[in-house]
Amino acid sequence: MIDSDLFEAARAWLAQDPDDETRSELSALIEAAGSGDTSALDDLRDRFETRLAFGTAGLRGEIAAGPNRMNRVLVSQAAAGLAAYLIERAVDGDPTSIVIGYDGRKNSAVFATDTAEIMAGAGIRAILLPRLLPTPLVAFAVRHLDVSAGVMVTASHNPPNDNGYKVYLGGIDQGSQIVSPADAEIATHILRIAAEENVLELPRSDAYEIAPESVVEAYISQTAELASRPAVQPKVVYTAMHGVGWQTFRAVLEAAGFDEPTVVRQQIDPDSAFPTVSFPNPEEPGALDLAFRTAREVDADLVIANDPDADRLAIAIRDSSSPATFRALTGNEVGALLGWRAAENLDAAARDEQTASGTLACSIVSSPALRAVAAEYGLEFAETLTGFKWVSRTPGLAFGFEEALGYLVNPSTVRDKDGISAALALLDLASGLAARGLTLDDQLDAFSMRFGHFASGQVSVRVTDLSQITRVMARLRAEPPAEIGGIRVSSIDDLLGADGVLPSSDVLRIHLDDGSRVMVRPSGTEPKLKVYLDTQSSDGTLDERRTAAAEALSRLEEGVRALIAE
């Protein structure tokens, strides 16, 4: 884009921007760039020489002016494009409808209202959730209200100045997130709107509905049914990470008969500035420090944390080697515990029929531990590509998880990861164990003895030049390794190309002679090459299994770092 075109595009954007803040910001940027400020000119180019791509994760980015940022112009174009897609997709005679939710981030309510007005203006029945609510409420409402689609305005656990736009589909999609080819078809409509329409002239209407509180109440009552009445009340500390999880989680706990936990007061109310954390993701170092401090003060048994939109769950327990400290469980550990619980429940429900049925599913980068559980109980097991848009679509799904703190424990109700229902399921498990004098740590040990001990690790390499990742992936394909960390490679699955089971994806799955596994893939959201390591041991005592798996993991990590070094 030459500079004259750049300034023309920026001024055209400015002319249709309904937001005072971003309009003022862009006006100042245009003036600075036009006065010869090179950094301003570079900033303008970054904003206008490309645009945020609409994909299977919808939209997500920093709030600011321009097509490569999140703002009211971009969201209005997305809403109009999605409306055109829904109308095109509708079966003759069937009404088109959408439910829209939003969290507590900056501009979430504004973006949601813009969407509702544009949908209503396009003749679509638009239903706006009654207040800021967790993401799982939208996934639930799509099915509960039997609508054509859903939109959740959230950037989940991204940095404070980000926001996003997540889309779900009803009908045969059962309230799951969009996948290909829907993403590309919606994107085509969005680009057409952006090229042909001024968002200030798009038809709008305030004739949208506000969903009744009964929608929230139905989610609460159906989620509460996942737990038995607690025989023992674990002592819990809860943090919402400055997000929207607390009101809904508290209501679910009350309905299920659990005591109200001690909350991390500094983080319990929605706050779009996220003042106590540098990065509002419970996986990030330091994010749970306030929760750990509170847990020590009240002598809690465990810590429960939701991310800001409450679709993810983090759990921390007392460290058995140092009871005064708490350690966060990995997503794979929580997935193993909840998967075992799901298998037990299926087995118990099927005793009259002799054989349990159902499918346990996880993404390909998650621990193989769930496969071992499924085999033990005679259940189906499925691996999917990364992302709950794939996990949630597994036929016969009974439980699904991803190592990045995502769990689906109630697929008959919600077809997406749900940090609130997962927290209740975990609390139900902890209560049942406590009634027998056991802890979650004891259950992890029991898992290792029954199914084998599984250890997982990850190597991430951040790059400044994306071609580095392309070169590494090409080299691994052209010159596949014979061994990694001294362990012989037995086979390699290249998922770049349809294999009849998984859609094509830029992933290498490397199997080793000792049962270990290495997964190599470019990150879908960051400039990183990500490598997932999994080892296991089923021989000897618990300590011997732990040691063997840990040693194999250490060898793999060393070998992988050498393998991917340029």
Active-site residue numbers? 156
CA–CA distance from 2 to each of 28, 48, 68, 81 (Å)? 20, 11, 17, 28
Q: What is the DSSP letter of 58?
A: B
What residues form DSSP beta bridges with 239? 305
| Residues linked to residue 460 through DSSP beta bridges, in sequence order | 530
Dihedral of CA 350/351/353/355: which sign?
positive
Count CB-CB contacts under 10 A for residue 228.
Answer: 11
Give Cα 87 to chain centroid, integer Å: 28
Q: How far apart are CA 49 and CA 46, in angstroms?
A: 6
d(CA 134, CA 124): 24
Where b means 16+ CB within 10 Å and e means fewer, 458-492 reads ebebebeeeebbeebbeebeeeebeebbebebeee
Longest Cα separation, the chain: 79
Alpha carbon separation from 461 to 486, 510, 522 (Å, rounded)? 22, 18, 10
Dihedral in degrees, nearest 10, Cα atoms 63, 66, 68, 72: 50
Pairing of strands 302-306, 236-239: parallel
DSSP calls for 164-208: EEEEEE-GGGTTEEP-TTHHHHHHHHHHHHHHH--GGGS---S-P
Say which amino acid occupies 142.
V
Helix (H) or strand (E) holding 494: strand 487-494
β-pairing verdict for 97-102 and 149-153: parallel
Question: What DSSP designation does 241 have?
Answer: T
CA pair distance 164, 139, nearest whole angstrom: 16
Q: Name residue 102's amino acid.
A: Y
| Proportion of the chain in helix, strand, coil states, percent, rounded to 5 | 40, 20, 35
Encoded tokens for 515: 């049962």
Closest CA to 393 of 220, 213, 175: 175
Inter-CA distances, 446 with 125, 330, 378, 420, 449, Å: 51, 17, 19, 26, 5
**Measuring CA to CA, which residue among 113, 108, 114 is closest to residue 162?**
108
> 97 with 175: CB under 8 angstroms?
no
